[in-house]
Amino acid sequence: MKPQIRVYADAAELAAAGAELVAGLAREAQAERGRCTLVLAGGSTPAALYRQLAHEPLSGDLDWTRMFLFWGDERCVSPDDARSNFRMVCENLLRRVEVPHGNIFRIPCELSPDAAAAWYEETLRGFFAGVQGAGGDITPAFDVVLLGLGDDGHVASIFPNTAAISEPNRWVLPIYVEKLDAWRVTLTPAAFKAARNVIFYVSGLAKSRAVREALEGTHDPQQRPAQAVRPENGKIYWLLDAQAAMDLGPRSFD
């Protein structure tokens, strides 16, 4: 399915539109299936979107007791560390809305990377135990997956030329990022194959080249990990501010 590309004037307009889209898809999921399973992006870019979700009118339009929250990746730090994706989401969203504790599934990166990845995989498989894919296997059918994009093209912590890109079976992997000299735990493209909606949310001129290569470059997921995120029957949205979209050619919008 061809991605839907939407461009907004600036980061503030992008945040408002992104929050509206996430909230709208969440309401649809709750109406159709009684709940919404949402994968949250880390880093600094989505913080403004989360703040929009946490305030009226959007916060009041959602039944937060039927929201189930997951993380696309996490840095291997304690949950109160300033670098923690969980902490960022807490500060911008979870402290402002009432999501039941049992609906929040953070990646426990205070454990070792291998242990955290194994625990999260087991948790996901238990949560989605009743959901079967086309081949009869358990599949994580997330309703909404929110992903950012690094200026090097990485999504979640799926970096170029790493094992996560071509991993066929495991949904969660520990990843050592050599250039950062740091461990992370990430969901893999295999975890997103049954997603109903994937939203790439990208802001800033520094990301424009990575956006162009992901959308207009030859198909090479090893170099362009966003190309590996292809839900089999779901929709893909690219939400961009004008700076992030600057290098796109007109054919991307046909």
Strand ranges inside 171-213, DSSP E: 172-177, 182-187, 197-202
∠187-193-196 over CA atoms, to 5°?
Answer: 105
CATH number for 223: 3.40.50.1360
d(CA 155, CA 212): 14
User: What b/e readout covers 104-126, taking b as 16+ CB neighbours within 10 angstroms?
Assistant: bbbbbbeeebeebbbbbbebbee
For 208, the 3-state DSSP assignment is helix
For 160-207, the pLDDT digits (tens) are 999 999 999 999 999 999 888 999 999 999 999 999 999 999 999 999
* Cβ(54)–Cβ(90) below 8 Å: no
Q: Strand 172-177 and strand 144-147: pairing?
A: unpaired
Q: Strand 172-177 and strand 182-187: pairing?
A: antiparallel
pTM score, whole prediction: 0.95
What is the pLDDT, as a whole number, of residue 199? Answer: 98
Q: How many domains does the chain have?
A: 1
What is the pLDDT, as a whole number, of residue 242? Answer: 98
**Structural domain containing residue 105:** 4-253
What is the pLDDT, as a whole number, of residue 136? Answer: 52
* Alpha helix segments (H runs only) across the chain: 11-33, 47-53, 58-61, 85-89, 113-127, 208-216
For 16, the 3-state DSSP assignment is helix
Residues of the chain with pLDDT under 50: 134
